[in-house]
Amino acid sequence: MEKTNITIIGAGIIGLACAYELSKKHKDILIIEKNPFFGQETSSRNSEVIHAGLYYQPDSYKANLCIRGKDLLYALCASHNIPHKKVGKLLVAKTEDEIQRIEKTYNNAIKSGVEKLRFITKAELKQMEPDIEAEKAFFSPETGIIDTHALMKFYLDSSKNNGAEIIFNTQVIGINKTSTGYLIKVQESSGDTFEFTTNAVINAAGFDSDKVAAMVGIEPDKHGYKIYYSKGQYFRIEHPKKFRITHLVYPPPSHTDLGIHVTPDLGGGLRLGPDAKYIDCVDYNLNVADKEIFYKSFRRYCPKLELDDLIPDTVGIRAKTQQKDDLFKDFVIEEESKKGFPNFINLIGIESPGVTASLAIAEQVRSLLQKTL
């Protein structure tokens, strides 16, 4: 291979959604993935929730692309039999402070254009979720769950059917601008390297996306592209049938995460998490001793929960441009002509709601690519 039209770096849900959307119109698309399979990092280590868009700053990419992405995703799932379920979500509060925080979230969601939300009475809550106790709650009927692996497989299979190609076990290690595009240097797992040229680059490298931007000469620190890792752990409820929980149940959010929530999955299981802790390097080890924190946190809303109900599950890493004390930070979705890199698209800080927004992000990427391609 000497030349390709569009190179997508990363076969997580974002790179694959871009491949799916772009391959409907563009030829010669190559996806490069360093792992042996697709979706082995953040895209397979998340809550698999289709978010309604409650939390994000109105008119931000996160809010707008979540709301659009959710609608696109439900339509796609229905037409292509991708497993999903609109289970609905309850945001619950016990104390006066928590009530104020869920009211703030509700008002934010209304400003963002989220529809069909409503506060419910205590009696209604008891009827909907007999094992959950709270003083106040609101209901988001449009929130759902999805089989993320099946969605990624659909994106990849469809892209391949449209002519896109993918190479695994191959890491992008260098990018140089040329007179007409970019020279990409890659290393295979054998250690061999090779180079090829491309007209356009989509950087969908997840928590390494700042490093990929730096390869072409875009300094992450200068442009707010530096990624900070926030680790999220999950514990699973060993015997889910013990609980009558059918909706997603969330506490009030903090300014950096959504709080430890319970998520029913499509197989009838129940998971608690994720928690959130900034870390210095990628680390997928789960701290079993944190079980007590999960237990205490969710037992406030579910008195029936016992410590021994919880068993360790998985860990995911949020790719955030937001540091601990920063306020809201949006997705970075930038075509970099202004920095001297035409048709180089950076997708950075694509944390939650990245799964939900994947198709809407891909649409945005398509509209940013120059028409000459």
Q: Which residues pair with 228 in a beta bridge?
A: 320
Q: Among 21, 98, 335, 351, which residue interacts with ligand FAD (rule: CB under 6 A)?
A: 351
Greatest CA separation for the chain = 67
Q: Among 8, 13, 117, 360, which residue interacts with ligand FAD (rule: CB under 6 A)?
A: 13
User: Rounded to the nearest whole angstrom, what is the least distance from the CB of residue 350 to ligand FAD in the complex?
Assistant: 4
Restricted to residues 26-65, the positions that interact with ligand FAD (CB under 6 A) are: 32-35, 39-43, 46-49, 51
The verdict on 147 binding ligand FAD (CB under 6 A) reads: no
Residue (120 or 248) nearer to ligand FAD, CB: 248
The verdict on 143 binding ligand FAD (CB under 6 A) reads: no
In sequence order, what are the residues at sequence separation of 6 or more whose Cβ sits closer than 8 angstroms to the Cβ of residue 171?
Answer: 32, 34, 186, 187
Helix (H) or strand (E) holding 249: strand 248-250
User: Rounded to the nearest whole angstrom, what is the least distance from the CB of residue 80 to ligand FAD in the complex?
Assistant: 18
Cβ atoms within 10 Å of 257's Cβ, excluding its own: 18
The verdict on 12 binding ligand FAD (CB under 6 A) reads: yes
- Fill in the DSSP letter of residue 331: P
User: Rounded to the nearest whole angstrom, what is the least distance from the CB of residue 257 to ligand FAD in the complex?
Assistant: 9
Query: Among candidates 232, 284, 293, 263, which has minimal Cα distance to 88?
Result: 263
Q: Which pair of structure tokens corresponds to residue 41?
A: 């990092």
Residue 94, CA distances (Å) to 54, 100, 291, 353 in order: 19, 10, 22, 26
Residue (6 or 49) nearer to ligand FAD, CB: 49
Q: Among 142, 356, 362, 364, which residue interacts with ligand FAD (rule: CB under 6 A)?
A: 356
User: Rounded to the nearest whole angstrom, what is the least distance from the CB of residue 207 to ligand FAD in the complex?
Assistant: 6
Query: Among candidates 214, 251, 155, which has minimal Cα distance to 339?
Result: 214
In sequence order, what are the residues at sequence separation of 6 or more whose Cβ sits closer than 8 angstroms to the Cβ of residue 44?
Answer: 148, 149
d(CA 287, CA 148): 25
User: Rounded to the nearest whole angstrom, what is the least distance from the CB of residue 150 to ligand FAD in the complex?
Assistant: 14
User: Rounded to the nearest whole angstrom, what is the least distance from the CB of residue 9 to ligand FAD in the complex?
Assistant: 5
User: Rounded to the nearest whole angstrom, what is the least distance from the CB of residue 303 to ligand FAD in the complex?
Assistant: 26
Restricted to residues 290-319, the positions that interact with ligand FAD (CB under 6 A) are: 316-318
Query: Which residue has the closest beta carbon to ligand FAD?
Result: 354
* CA-based torsion, 131, 134, 135, 140: positive or negative: negative
69: helix, coil or strand?
helix
Q: Among 53, 259, 264, 354, which residue interacts with ligand FAD (rule: CB under 6 A)?
A: 354
The verdict on 172 binding ligand FAD (CB under 6 A) reads: yes
Residue (33 or 309) nearer to ligand FAD, CB: 33
Q: Which pair of structure tokens corresponds to residue 198?
A: 């491309």
Q: Among 6, 11, 90, 201, which residue interacts with ligand FAD (rule: CB under 6 A)?
A: 11
Lay out the site mask for ligand FAD across 192-231 (x = CB under 6 A, - = otherwise): ------------xxxxx---x-------------------
In sequence order, what are the residues at sequence separation of 6 or more whose Cβ sits closer than 8 angstroms to the Cβ of residue 22?
Answer: 6, 8, 29, 164, 202, 362, 365, 366, 369
User: Rounded to the nearest whole angstrom, what is the least distance from the CB of residue 263 to ligand FAD in the complex?
Assistant: 8
The verdict on 252 binding ligand FAD (CB under 6 A) reads: no
1: helix, coil or strand?
coil
Chain positions contacting ligand FAD, by CB under 6 A: 9-15, 32-35, 39-43, 46-49, 51, 171-172, 204-208, 212, 232, 274, 316-318, 350-356
